Amino acid sequence: MPESVLEDYQTVSLEEVMRASLAERMERKYIFPARLLPEILFLLKEDFDLMVAGNQAVQLYESVYFDTPALSTYLAHHNGAGDRYKIRLRKYHSTSACFLEIKHRIVTGKVIKKRVEIPDLAADLASYSEFLCHNSPYHPEELEEKIRSYYYRITLVNKVLEERATFDYGLFFTNGTEKKDFSPLVIAEFKFSKELRRPSCQNLLRGFHIRSTSISKYCTGIASLYPDVRKNRFKQKLRKINRIILTHYENPVS
């Protein structure tokens, strides 16, 4: 879909992006129709470089999310708990690297991410019991696979290294029996230096009347695949997503 636009970008390596990691940064998330992505990428190409990993400009991400049978990590997010976790296995297909990742959001809003490399997505959590117990309140025997997600990611880096943007598209979820297709949607995340007053990505999206929002892929997947789960906190967001999807299929882009 947006691949042809990327041919005009100058590129930067994953290693260069990691070296230029923003220490003190702000983050914003956005959702918008996938039909807008090629135009947005075209408008950003003068100020941003394209990250290439494993000789690929577009990276496929595959994630396996774990939770307790009672969905305690999902409900902690739903209920607005200041201290909460996400536990997943993730494969970065462009490099074939796989990790067990734990994201811990603390009461200040800061997110602490810990990860350990694993051989593949079939890895047994019990083999990483020490890592899991040290970095979360959960034990392997408490957790079970709940959903898998797949999406493509494009990563852009500002030429003066003050901003980084990711655009995730082609998203779908499965719980092994059902599948939910969110491919008409793009989830964008911008990270920028705290000193930067007017991030160019943010200004560009305002021109499309796109405002920042909060969204969790895991919670969106759970809320869409498990009809009986509590989702009051996410209903407004789900309605917005459904409007984007419905509009896409009513007015398909040829």
Q: Helix-strand-coil percent breakdown of the chain, rounded to 5?
A: 30, 35, 30
User: Which residue shows structure tokens 């009809």?
Assistant: 227
Can you tell me the distance from the alpha carbon of 209 to that of 203, in angstroms, rounded to the nearest whole number?
Answer: 10
pLDDT above 70 covers a percentage of the chain that reads: 93
Dihedral sign of CA atoms 106, 78, 116, 191 in order: negative
Cβ neighbours of residue 2 under 8 Å, at least 6 residues apart?
37, 38, 41, 154, 167, 169
The strand pairing partners of 30, in sequence order, are 188
What per-residue string of b and e applies to 15-43 under the rule 16 or more CB within 10 Å gives b?
A: eebeeeebeeeeebebbbbbbebbebbeb
Question: Residue 160: pLDDT above 80?
Answer: no
Please give the residue that has the higher pLDDT: either 191 or 248: 191
For domain 3-250, give the CATH superfamily.
VTC, catalytic tunnel domain (3.20.100.30)
Q: If DSSP codes are grouped into helix, strand and coil, which group holds residue 159? A: coil
Task: Give residue-wise pLDDT tens across range 199-222.
Answer: 788 889 999 999 999 999 999 999
Q: What sections of 50-199 are H helices per DSSP? A: 72-78, 129-135
Can you give the pLDDT at residue 252? Answer: 47
Can you tell me the distance from the alpha carbon of 102 to that of 233, in angstroms, rounded to the nearest whole number?
Answer: 23
CA 35 to chain centre: 19
Can you tell me the distance from the alpha carbon of 196 to that of 158, in angstroms, rounded to the nearest whole number?
Answer: 12
Rg of the Cα trace of the chain? 18
Q: What is the pTM of this model?
A: 0.92
Give how far Cα 3 sits from Cα of 27, 41, 57, 117, 152, Å: 25, 10, 8, 30, 11
Task: Give residue-wise pLDDT tens across range 54-112.
Answer: 889 999 999 999 999 999 999 999 999 999 999 999 999 999 999 999 999 999 888 89
